[in-house]
Chains A and B, each alone.
Chain A
Amino acid sequence: MANNLNIEVSPLARVEGHGDLIINVKDKKIEKLMFRIPESPRFFEAMLVGRKHDEPSHITSRICGICSVAHTCASIKATEKAMGIKPSQQTIKLRKLIYHHENVQSNVLHVYFLAAPDFFGVGSVIPLIETHPEVVNIALRVKKMANDMVRIIGGRAVHPIRTVAGGFTKLPTEEEMIKMKEMLEACYPDLEKSLEILRTLKIPEFERKTEYISISDTSDYALYDGNIKSTDGWEIDDQNYLDKINEKVVQHSTAKHCWASRDAFMVGALARFNNNHDKLTDNAKKYTEELGLVAPCYNTFMNNIAQFVEIVHSVDDSIRLIDEILEDGLDEGKAMADIKPGAGRGVGVVEAPRGLLIHDYTYNDKGRVEKANMIIPTGMNYANIEKDMHALVSTILDKSEDEIRLACEMLIRAYDPCISCSTHFLKVKLINK
């Protein structure tokens, strides 16, 4: 029906931010398709200049409330690298543990609160409280478990206090470690039930092959640390990210656009899965089979499924980490490494829930930040969202305006774009010319 079509979506709800989508169709051809982020820029790269080495992690955590642990970790890794600070193994294990649970809470929020309403045909999670109480209750329980883990290790759920360059200002107690393990074990029935529910959802069929980039490690399903790896066959040390990842300012958006081997790439759970699926726990692998997630997967909508599989993996792997930490015994002496503030450059690369996150700091000889560069996952996904949208819209032009609009919103939501990093999201206005 849509020979000519004008779609403006601004701001899109149920994504963590604001953004606009503009589609103009003329004679059944897409004339213009633009996904833009109109939200005010934050200028974090400027804010950091001149700050002391112990401040960037607290400042950059405020880039994103939903992935504040990721920004904190990328920041402290960059500072540690720049100043040659060596955190203890205990610190790294605790960081991996807190890291898992930011990813779990974020993935739960996205899969159950933000994406699920689309699959149940409602505007938000609120109607689901009446119609699908079990979905809402599972989501709240798992989310609380994950947030409590972050609270125990980091001191609070949003913007952790204890995770700092060098280690932890305060360690969890042994009792708290045991309690966390019990909390983790208690959530398996909810994961099983979620599996049953997710199996019934109809994931839209859509494929567009692109480049998938994530960090990768020889032993871990990498979230906290690793090389940068691409499905296009390259792998580089994280310090050398500039060898592959390019960034430019585009006029229609405050978020910079990125590219690597080709004109666009995808980061996030699906990219991590495509690169590292063999490092998932056996239990998580079982879930991938049950849900039909097979690597390499080129269906962006399956990102939601990959997010759920990561929840399972994180719960499994957290129990392993807690067992190891308890076996070694918590040691106050290993809580903080020695820090000698000084000059140097360091890059901290992690997997935020929404994908690759890069912090790059240069310190002067007074130990103050001289230059900072940060690349956020949604910035990296940006160009790919436009390409996906282009491919999707051209296949569904025969659908009604409402259907096209919903499909576009769902596709964008599948990316879980945490655009508060730079932006916020879409209200839909469709005008038929």
Chain B
Amino acid sequence: MTRQENPADLEIEEKLSNFTHLRRLPEFGVILAFIILFTIFSIFATQFLTLRNLTGILTIVSELGIMAIGVAFLMISGEFDLSVSSVYAISGFLFVTFANRYNSPLAFIITLIIALFIGFCNGIITIRTHIPSFITTLGMQLLLRGSLLAITGGESVSYKSDTIMPVLLTKFIGYGFRPSHIWFCLLTLIFSLLLTRTRYGNWVFATGGNKEVARAMGVKTTRVKMINFMLSALLASLSGCIVISRFNLANASFGIGMELEAIASAVIGGTLLTGGYGTIIGVFFGAMITGMMRTGLVMMGAPAYWYQAFVGAILIVAAIINLKLSRIEM
């Protein structure tokens, strides 16, 4: 009886039960959440809807989001990477050190290669010893962070080299936009295509969805995981190089806790923590939400501490929604 009075509700319910609909646009939920939050901030924070603020948010979002893409891609294949925040910090240091000694393009390449090696170590340890990647990469995170703090003694290092990489990565290109914004969008597009439109993407889904089935069907699951561990470290490293080019300074405490923000972005974007499902476009908006919360709350006059609390709350809600959605599917 009450149903009939509310045809809109009924329509929504119908749409929810008809899953083909939603799966055609799995990012629906996160985009909706993004629009709602964006509207709220635009209304209640006066300076929010300005080009300067929005590009500022985009800068933070890009640095977090590039890392989150790698984390999510690996998560879809069924593994965690908690070491990204330390890879990020150590990459900044390596980049500055090598750039000051040689030049920035060479420093950039060397840094990425070292990051690939760290990702390789994460992968080989996880696969060979069968310990959960949660532990492997937590260990790697502490090991790298500790080493970095010990070697630098907590001192910062300034960037004193050419402007080639900083210009390519993050220097202003006008109206507050930076190349890192473009890189983030481009990487989102590339990884989204890789995941949904290539054979490799199909193997990533299968490896995370059911490793035994994937292997039985001829997918080289250990290779898929190895590659994804390396991609995760690579993107974290890129993100580290970008942030150091922006600050012209590397400090051993950069990025502490950022791995959790990256995982939160992935989960808010609809990635299943258990692997096998997720979208990169979703991660893009997940990172947008996370980054927007940071400035939006402050601009609304809330103390900066509330940022973590809100991200935490959204994360829990997102995880519950993800699980509910996958239950309806089952």
Query: Are these two chains actual partners, yes or no?
Result: no
